[in-house]
Amino acid sequence: MPAAANESVERKNVRALIGIISTVAEDAMNTWEQESGRIPSLDKPVDDTRAVAPELLRSMRLLESACFQLCSTLMPTSLSMITRSYAPIDSACLGVASQGKVADVLDGHPKGLHVDIIAEKTQLPAEKLARVLRLLAVKHCFKEVSKDVSANNRLSHSIRSTTPLAALISTFSDICHENAWPFLYSTLADPEYGPSNSPTKTSFSWSMRKEKPDATFFGYLAERPEKSEMFGKAMTAFDAGGVQEFYPIGSLPAGATWCDVGGGQGGVLIPVANTHPTLRLTLQDQLHVIEEAKQHFAQECPGVLNEKRISFVPIDFFKEPPVPNQDVYYMRMIIHDWPDAESIQILKNVRKAMGPQSRLLIHDYVLPSLDSKAQTQHIPKPLLPTYYGAGGQRSFMMDQHAGAAELEGAHAAGLHQPRPRQRARHPHSPRRIEWHTVPEIPALEELPKA
């Protein structure tokens, strides 16, 4: 229908949002069909959505932003704000499902189970559990097949107790809800903690200050092997937009060396090892994490261990350089954890290790800058110039999370300014630093086509 000439700005904006939704939903369906032969089903308890093309991430960012903006525009204000205020309840209910292992109980029961049976197996009260599951089901995690009968769907299947996403939910509910996120205001308002950029003056440190002054998140994990293991596994959940999507690893020469600095349990290195068998790999992290990584590799890709294609070398990246003369030093989700001074210390240590042919790849969240025309000009109106809006929210959440729960984070570190991206013309030219972003990619459009 042709738009009326005297349409209000609001009507034009709503129409534009509907247009974006319609276009990018079509694009996303086409990408899924090209990539996996079909559009993923929400109903099926199988996660076949793991290999994600950059174009799909871009479509999803637009779609999520446009849907959220459309609802925020047309919804009465009080409904919008009440829903946002309730947000921690979503997370708490996920915590119940995950810690109660509800998805494990439902595994293998495609027709679902009555809540009385789920309650008996999880040792949770049936009537209250039914209400938790209903709230989760209205947002498509679990499905209520009939009254009080629940079954797994794609989302709930992904939080069975052995999965990285279950570890992520447990890390959030067990550590972040307990010791960090709720204390953001108290920390900001505290005259000592609020203005400080010290890694020992975060919300996490604030909540622990009576028990252990100057507590840090990684120090806390180091003293608690079970939680450290859970956190390490949680990191492997960040699998969308892997490095191989953005960097031409395949064109490195056979025998090239690749050192993952702060590589955790191998969330990045395992897929790299599986897809690039000629690389010689090194994983470096704190000693206790190295032990977790060895176990993880033994479970997930024992061949890489048997073929001795990987070395595990402990490091304290503040105190010492990584192993010398590697072709590639790679750091994912490391720099965002630290304020400027600590980041510089880490980078200086990597610099000491670098040989003339070495390059450093930094794969991290880079927050967009409103005053960067290059970053905002391609965002279709009326989406927000700040990273499109809600489709970019995970980067800002990570910024808050890294600031509150882990350490000072990218924002405090001043790393939210966009870094120049080196192009693929000389993809392996020496002594380069490249910034790549995960998996919310503010400058995805700037990436060279594969």
Ligand X SMILES: C[S@@+](CC[C@H](N)C(=O)[O-])C[C@H]1O[C@@H](n2cnc3c(N)ncnc32)[C@H](O)[C@@H]1O
Q: What angle do CA 431, 334, 200 make, to 5 degrees?
A: 130
Site for ligand X in 334-373 (CB under 6 A): 334, 337
Q: By C-beta, is 69 or 284 nearer to ligand X?
A: 284
Among 7, 318, 344, 348, binds ligand X (CB under 6 A): 318
Is 416 in the active site?
no
Give the interface size with ligand X as a residue count (CB under 6 A): 18
Task: Give the single-character DSSP code of 197.
Answer: -
Among 101, 157, 233, 332, binds ligand X (CB under 6 A): 332
- Residues contacting 109, CB < 8 A, separation 6+: 151, 152
Q: Which residue stretches of 361-434 are H helix?
A: 373-376, 393-401, 409-412
Q: By C-beta, is 72 or 218 nearer to ligand X?
A: 218
Q: By C-beta, is 90 or 291 nearer to ligand X?
A: 291
Site for ligand X in 228-287 (CB under 6 A): 235, 262-264, 267-268, 285-286
Does 300 contact ligand X by CB under 6 A? no
Residue nearest to ligand X (CB): 264
Residue 195: Cβ within 10 Å count? 9
- Scanning the structure block, which residue is given the tokens 């904006």? 13
Q: Rounded to an integer, what distance in angstroms lies between the CA atom of residue 305 and that of residue 12? A: 59
Candidates 2-10, 90-98, 200-208, 333-341: pick the segment binding ligand X (CB under 6 A).
Answer: 333-341
Among 155, 304, 315, 443, binds ligand X (CB under 6 A): 315
Q: By C-beta, is 267 or 439 nearer to ligand X?
A: 267
Q: Are 367 and 410 in contact (CB under 8 A)?
A: yes
Q: Rounded to an integer, what distance in angstroms lies between the CA atom of residue 369 and that of residue 191? A: 28
Q: By C-beta, is 197 or 357 nearer to ligand X?
A: 197
- Scanning the structure block, which residue is given the tokens 């109903």? 43
Site for ligand X in 174-233 (CB under 6 A): 218
Residue 279: which of 268, 287, 264 has the closest Cα?
A: 268
Smallest separation, CB 289 to ligand X (Å) = 4
Smallest separation, CB 218 to ligand X (Å) = 4
Does 440 contact ligand X by CB under 6 A? no
Q: Rounded to an integer, what distance in angstroms lies between the CA atom of residue 277 and that of residue 286? A: 25
Candidates 81-89, 173-181, 297-305, 327-335: pick the segment binding ligand X (CB under 6 A).
Answer: 327-335
Q: By C-beta, is 178 or 316 nearer to ligand X?
A: 316
Residue 218: Cβ within 10 Å count? 14
Does 164 contact ligand X by CB under 6 A? no
- Scanning the structure block, which residue is given the tokens 């991206």? 421
Question: Per-residue x/- marks for ligand X, 119-158, CB under 6 A?
Answer: ----------------------------------------
Q: Are 124 and 96 in contact (CB under 8 A)?
A: yes
Catalytic residue among 157, 296, 336, 416: 336
Sign of the CA dihedral running 161, 163, 169, 170: positive
Q: Rounded to an integer, what distance in angstroms lies between the CA atom of residue 433 and that of residue 31? A: 31
Among 56, 141, 166, 289, binds ligand X (CB under 6 A): 289
Strand (E) or helix (H) holding 143: strand 143-146
Task: Give the single-character DSSP code of 304.
Answer: H
Q: Which residues are catalytic?
A: 336
Would you tell me which residues interact with ligand X (CB under 6 A)?
Answer: 218, 235, 262-264, 267-268, 285-286, 289, 315-318, 332-334, 337
